[in-house]
């Protein structure tokens, strides 16, 4: 462990668990810490402080967070918990996990450097008592812009002025005061997440996220475009738009169709070759938004739709809308505009009251839906949710049988869908080139969750050895391995910038 001193910068290791939204929050924390003189790394070795951005979504994620915090304590560094689990449980987590020297909530983020400085100095910070963050903002969405509630990952436009390209110290403002970029990329590569909004106004019976993430708040188009331009200058070629509910974007700004207008603007940012929207609510996915995503050049025809189930009785108990017929109609409208569009979703099995006929209905939907990627989750009670108090609980053994059945079906169906793409031409964004192996993703594949494309040599004359991360390559699919594709490049669609010798 390195001791902090005036001659050597304090070193903080920032470890991120959970979703892409958390990754954006970590990069905000990294930017704030770097601006205050901390050396920021993602390597827990030789750190003065290990800051763990935890996930608090489901039991497995919480267990992963606890294990990461305990492992961090073995390094000898001070250990600090932040993120969703820390916000959700606060003092309770601090009392049950003495290995953590501090448990910080979202309200601590603007002063994160001072908080870590206090921990390093040996002070014991009092953990917060959790509260429902939805109550901190006005009920009326359009009244929320004036609130001063801390919303992680929401960075002002001026945070993305001239700088070192990695979120370091920037120039000066009109009054001569130094400006700082408050987001600092923790991982290099051609893909980055861009946070559209935070929070959620929906009341799904199984979900605790709104209580600790708060009510829905959009970022303005100016903020997003400024950050997109900054990310492009750092070498980003694909933007992945993230939020708890992207289809609500703009409703608190007075324009519920704002995402339809924003997507083409983001796709037009110099250097960006692909924009991908995620976290779409089927009930809010309007025909105009479908058309923009399916037909706009530079926007991936990709539909990350939160179905969760397809049996109408189960959906009603979940406090959600839809049915097998409605969901299939939505997918049909997508494919009428873009036959090769990608579609993915997640599903919960074993929700209270779920019957065998409900499972049969879900099987029927999955079989007909032709989804590219399917996530299956077994239901478990979550603290503070309506579902946790519902009657009609399904036994654990039954849930496991249904989970195993749906998971096996999902793997089979997704492999079949991948096989449907044999012989098709896809545009592959190269993610990595490692020891001669070139991997990337087609438009229907989001980072980390939807499989990948391995490029192999063919007769088209494309030199694999000359490809770099960020290149957008046209390729013909020649083989499949589960959801993964193998393809032969046939030409360059858009080359990433090359270093000048």
Banded pLDDT at 170 (limits 50, 70, 90):
very low
| Same domain assignment for residues 233 and 245 | yes
Q: Among residues of the chain, what percentage have pLDDT more than 70?
A: 93
How many domains does the structure of the chain reveal?
Answer: 3
Residue 501 domain-assigned (yes or no): no
The CATH number covering residue 443 comes to 2.40.50.140
Domain that holds residue 191: 135-153+176-420
Residue 171 domain-assigned (yes or no): no
**How many angstroms separate the Cα of 435 from the Cα of each of 1, 354, 464, 465, 497?**
33, 49, 11, 10, 21
Model confidence pLDDT, tens digit, residues 307-365: 999 999 999 999 999 999 999 999 999 999 999 999 999 999 999 999 999 999 999 99
| Same domain assignment for residues 263 and 321 | yes
Residue 167 domain-assigned (yes or no): no
**How many angstroms separate the Cα of 363 from the Cα of each of 317, 349, 376?**
19, 11, 12
| Same domain assignment for residues 431 and 400 | no
| Same domain assignment for residues 361 and 393 | yes
Of 130, 165, 195, the last residue of a domain is 130
| Same domain assignment for residues 121 and 182 | no
| Same domain assignment for residues 181 and 324 | yes
Model confidence pLDDT, tens digit, residues 274-304: 999 999 999 999 999 999 999 999 999 999 9
| Same domain assignment for residues 78 and 206 | no
The CATH number covering residue 44 comes to 3.40.50.12160
Q: Is the pLDDT of residue 167 over 50?
A: no
The answer to whether 84 is annotated as binding is yes
| Same domain assignment for residues 115 and 225 | no
To the nearest 10 degrees (0 to 180), the angle between helices 221-233 and 258-267 is 20
Torsions phi, psi of 326, nearest 5?
-65, -40
| Same domain assignment for residues 414 and 481 | no
| Same domain assignment for residues 412 and 483 | no
The answer to whether 414 is annotated as binding is no
Model confidence pLDDT, tens digit, residues 445-467: 999 889 999 999 988 778 899 99
| Same domain assignment for residues 324 and 223 | yes
412: which 2 tokens?
């089979």
């Amino acid at each position: 462990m390195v001791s902090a001193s005036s001659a050597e910068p304090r070193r903080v290791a920032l470890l991120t668990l959970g979703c892409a939204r958390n990754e954006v929050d970590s990069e905000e924390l990294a930017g704030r810490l770097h601006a205050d003189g901390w050396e920021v790394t993602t390597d827990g070795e030789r750190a003065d402080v290990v800051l763990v951005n935890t996930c608090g979504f489901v039991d497995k994620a919480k267990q992963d967070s606890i294990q990461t915090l305990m492992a961090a304590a073995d390094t000898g560094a001070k250990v600090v918990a932040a993120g969703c689990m820390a916000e959700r449980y606060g003092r309770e987590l601090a009392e049950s996990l003495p290995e953590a020297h501090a448990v910080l909530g979202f309200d601590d983020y603007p002063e994160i450097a001072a908080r870590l400085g206090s921990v390093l100095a040996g002070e014991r910070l009092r953990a917060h008592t959790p509260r429902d963050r939805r109550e901190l903002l006005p009920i009326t969405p359009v009244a929320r812009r004036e609130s001063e509630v801390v919303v992680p990952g929401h960075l002002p436009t001026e945070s993305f002025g001239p700088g070192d390209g990695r979120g370091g110290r920037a120039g000066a403002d009109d009054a001569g005061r130094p400006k700082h970029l408050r987001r600092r990329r923790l991982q290099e590569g051609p893909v980055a997440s861009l946070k559209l909004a935070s929070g959620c106004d929906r009341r799904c019976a199984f979900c605790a996220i709104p209580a600790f993430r708060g009510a829905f708040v959009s970022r303005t188009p100016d903020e997003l475009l400024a950050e997109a331009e900054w990310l492009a200058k750092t070498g980003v070629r694909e933007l992945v738009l993230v939020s708890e509910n992207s289809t609500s974007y703009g409703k608190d700004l007075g324009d519920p169709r704002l995402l339809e207008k924003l997507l083409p603007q983001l796709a037009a940012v110099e250097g960006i070759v692909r924009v991908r929207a995620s976290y779409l609510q089927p009930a809010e996915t309007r025909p105009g938004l479908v058309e923009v995503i399916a037909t706009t050049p530079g926007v991936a025809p990709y539909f990350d739709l939160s179905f969760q189930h397809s049996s109408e009785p189960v959906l009603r108990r979940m406090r959600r809308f839809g049915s097998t017929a409605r969901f299939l109609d939505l997918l049909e409208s997508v494919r009428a505009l873009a036959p090769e569009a990608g579609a993915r979703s997640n599903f919960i099995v074993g929700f209270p009251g779920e019957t065998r006929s409900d499972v049969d209905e879900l099987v029927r939907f999955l079989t007909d839906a032709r989804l590219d990627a399917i996530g299956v989750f077994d239901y478990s009670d979550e603290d503070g949710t309506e579902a946790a108090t519902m009657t009609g609980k399904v036994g654990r053994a039954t849930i496991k049988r249904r989970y195993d059945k749906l998971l096996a079906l999902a793997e089979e169906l997704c492999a079949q869908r991948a096989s449907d793409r044999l012989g098709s031409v896809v545009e592959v964004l190269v993610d990595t080139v490692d020891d001669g192996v070139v991997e990337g993703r087609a438009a229907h594949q989001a980072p980390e969750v939807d499989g990948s494309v391995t490029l192999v040599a063919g007769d088209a004359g494309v030199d694999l050895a000359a490809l770099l991360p960020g290149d957008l390559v046209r390729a013909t699919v020649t083989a499949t391995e589960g959801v993964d594709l193998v393809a032969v490049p046939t030409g360059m669609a858009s080359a990433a910038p090359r270093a000048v010798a």
